[in-house]
């Protein structure tokens, strides 16, 4: 479990990270979103014990990053936004070096290396020189390096930058898989939709402050006061529209076809269920009643002002 408590870092007069707090449980994938210069990298580097916070701290599985950085380091896999790979080593030697550095016992090293290569799908490149890898492969090799010591927290700073759409999709799949393995993962990006489909929690940071954070659905709900419900009935859409008008939580209704309508709705899940209940009990044959997929991009634009440091 990771508890981040009031992290703060200033560079001279510029407060890069201001009082950031959040908590992660095993299996949580935390999407850390913010525009350029918002403070994502600074936060991640503090968590990685590469930068000392001015105040605040974080506790990883009971260890304080400021009190006991060495044992925190053993539990962290860090993928910086900009990293280099030694130019004189083969892929497996590169991983072997980091396995040694992280004190993976010698007898286990070979199998650990084979496993992580398999996981990131680089088995075929085992004996290739690390520098001969393509950008996407390097990114995956870097992820493999983060995994050799089986860390409980992964800090991935813009892991998808510079990848083509296909490589991006593969990387997302891989990160989701790691989440299922019970790791806590923090992934930063400035593009929210990129994270939306595999993160279960997100935090939006702007000018060093966490504007909002929590479960993806909760955030969308709290921000998007009005939700759009798509309703489809077998017949009588216009009567249904009339009927729903003025019911609790319904702000407006719109007829979109002979059998479909949309409802602008303000309220929680219970109220939404009640609304469906009355609609059905009134005799309407409802075949679809769904909330419009949360548009995270809109949410992001709504909570941030576009101000940068």
Partner 1 sequence: MGGHRQVRHVVRDLFTENPCLPKSLSSFSRSLRIGTWPASTAIVAVIILLVYACLVALAVQSVTWFEPSIFLYGMLLISILLVAAVLYSGLAGEREKKSLDLLLVAPVTGAQIVAAKLTKAFLPLVASILALMVPAIVIGMMRIVKGQPAFIDNVNFPIALAGALGLTLSANVLVAGVAVYMSALNKTMSSALTATIGCLFALYVVIAVLVSAMAPISKDLVDTLLAYHPFVAMSSLLSQNARFAGLSVGFSSVFHIAVGAGLLWASVRALETERKKGGRASA
Note the residues at the interface with partner 1 (CB under 8 A).
Answer: 11, 42, 45, 48-52, 70-71, 73-74, 76, 78, 80, 82-89, 93, 97-98, 100-103, 145
Q: Is 42 in the site for ligand ATP (CB under 6 A)?
A: yes
Task: Tell the burial category of 161 from Cβ atoms under 10 Å away from its Cβ (0-12, 13-18, 19+).
Answer: middle
Q: What is the binding site for Mg ion (CB under 5 A)? A: 40-41, 81
Task: Indicate which of ligand ATP, partner 1, Mg ion, none lies near residue 34 (CB less than 5 to 8 Å, by partner kind).
Answer: ligand ATP
Give backbone dihedrals phi and psi of 263, rounded to 5 degrees, phi first. -125, 125
* Pairing, β 29-33 against β 184-189: parallel
Of 89 and 128, nearer to partner 1 (C-beta) is 89
57 neighbors 73 (Cβ within 8 angstroms): no
Q: Is 34 in the site for ligand ATP (CB under 6 A)?
A: yes
Site for ligand ATP in 71-90 (CB under 6 A): 81
Of 2 and 216, nearer to partner 1 (C-beta) is 2
**Considering the complex, what minimum distance in angstroms separates the CB of residue 37 from partner 1?**
9
Of 16 and 275, nearer to ligand ATP (C-beta) is 16
In this structure, the dihedral spanned by the alpha carbons of residues 26, 170, 46 and 300, taken in order and rounded to 10 degrees, is -90
Secondary element (H or E) of residue 77? strand 76-79
Task: Out of 190, 209, 230, 247, point to the residue binding ligand ATP (CB under 6 A).
Answer: 190
**Considering the complex, what minimum distance in angstroms separates the CB of residue 36 from partner 1?**
12
Of 6 and 277, nearer to ligand ATP (C-beta) is 6
**Considering the complex, what minimum distance in angstroms separates the CB of residue 77 from partner 1?**
9
Task: Out of 8, 23, 26, 37, point to the residue binding ligand ATP (CB under 6 A).
Answer: 37
Task: Indicate which of ligand ATP, Mg ion, partner 1, none lies near residue 36 (CB less than 5 to 8 Å, by partner kind).
Answer: ligand ATP
Give backbone dihedrals phi and psi of 170, rounded to 5 degrees, phi first. -65, -40
Q: Alpha-carbon distance 272 to 293, whole Å?
A: 15
- Residue 297: name the closest of 226, 223, 232 by CA: 223
Q: What do you get for the CA distance between the two ends of the chain, in Å?
A: 31
- Residue 193: name the closest of 290, 299, 291 by CA: 299
Residue with tokens 């260890």: 63
**Considering the complex, what minimum distance in angstroms separates the CB of residue 51 from partner 1?**
4
Q: Alpha-carbon distance 140 to 175, whole Å?
A: 11
**From edge to edge, which strands make up the β-sheet containing 2-11?**
14-24, 2-11, 55-60, 63-64
Q: Which stretch binds ligand ATP (CB under 6 A): 30-38, 179-187, 227-235, 279-287?
A: 30-38
Task: Out of 31, 39, 151, 159, point to the residue binding ligand ATP (CB under 6 A).
Answer: 39
Residue with tokens 């407060």: 15
Task: Out of 4, 7, 16, 133, point to the residue binding ligand ATP (CB under 6 A).
Answer: 16
Residues in touch with ligand ATP (CB under 6 A) = 11, 14, 16, 34, 36-42, 81, 190, 309
């Amino acid at each position: 479990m990771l508890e981040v408590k009031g992290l703060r870092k200033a560079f001279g007069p510029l407060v890069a990270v201001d009082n950031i707090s959040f908590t992660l449980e095993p299996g949580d994938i935390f999407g850390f979103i913010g525009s350029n210069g918002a403070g994502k990298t600074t936060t991640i580097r503090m968590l990685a014990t590469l930068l000392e916070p001015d105040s605040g701290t974080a506790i990883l599985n009971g260890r304080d990053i400021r009190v006991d950085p060495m044992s925190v380091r053993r539990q962290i896999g860090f993928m910086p936004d900009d990293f280099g790979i030694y130019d004189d080593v083969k892929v497996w030697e590169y991983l072997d070096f980091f396995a040694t550095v992280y004190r993976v016992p010698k007898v286990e090293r070979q199998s650990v290396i084979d496993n992580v290569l398999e996981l990131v799908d680089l088995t075929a490149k085992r004996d290739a020189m690390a520098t001969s890898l393509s950008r996407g492969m390097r990114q995956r090799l870097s992820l493999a390096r983060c995994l050799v010591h089986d860390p409980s927290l992964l800090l991935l700073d813009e892991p998808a930058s510079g990848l083509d759409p296909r490589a991006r999709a593969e990387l997302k799949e891989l990160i989701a898989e790691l989440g299922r393995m019970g790791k806590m993962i923090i992934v930063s990006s400035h593009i929210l939709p990129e994270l939306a489909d595999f993160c279960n929690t997100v935090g939006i940071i702007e000018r060093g402050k966490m504007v909002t954070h929590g479960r993806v659905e909760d955030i969308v709900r709290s921000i998007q006061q009005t939700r759009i419900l798509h309703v489809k009935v077998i017949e009588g859409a216009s009567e249904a529209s009339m009927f729903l008008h003025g019911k609790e939580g319904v702000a407006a209704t719109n007829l979109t076809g002979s059998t479909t309508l949309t409802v602008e709705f303000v309220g929680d899940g219970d109220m939404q269920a009640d609304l469906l209940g009355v609609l059905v009990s009134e005799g309407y044959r409802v075949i679809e009643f769904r909330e419009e997929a949360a548009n995270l991009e809109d949410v992001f634009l709504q909570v941030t002002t576009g101000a940068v440091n």
